[in-house]
Amino acid sequence: MEKNVKVNTYLTLSKEGLKATRKGASEEAIAEIGEEGKDDLYYPDLSWDTDELYFEDGEIYINGNFSHQGKELGHLSPTIPLGNETIIEIIEYYMEKMEKVKAVLEATK
């Protein structure tokens, strides 16, 4: 597990979407957190519909819009750098998967 990873994030918020969901999100915050959440907006079932997900130059890029109960709230685009530890874990995971595929293919010869 990598620690202290800096994720560059671009966030655009929709004033119209936030306005339309503000009351419900405020009630959700109070219900979930208590009175200390009275100034918060809480979206427990936020949906993030991604347009893109790709890997390039050691980083994962994700782009997409997020919404709550059908109301678009904005756009989120983080860039996640992968360190050597994470890349090694991914390679090991897929090597294990490939061994299983290889075994199945050999069994069907």
For the cut 80, the answer to whether the pLDDT of residue 2 exceeds it is: no
- How many angstroms separate the Cα of 49 from the Cα of each of 27, 70, 78? 25, 11, 13
Domain span at 103:
8-107
**Number of folded domains in the chain?**
1
Report pLDDT for 3. Answer: 82
What pTM did the predictor assign?
Answer: 0.71
Answer yes or no: is 100 within a domain: yes
| Proportion of the chain above pLDDT 70, given as a percent | 100
pLDDT single digits (tens) 48-89? 999 999 999 999 999 999 999 889 999 999 999 999 999 999
Answer yes or no: is 103 within a domain: yes
> Residue 101: CA atoms inside 13 Å, Cβ hemisphere, count?
6
Answer yes or no: is 23 within a domain: yes
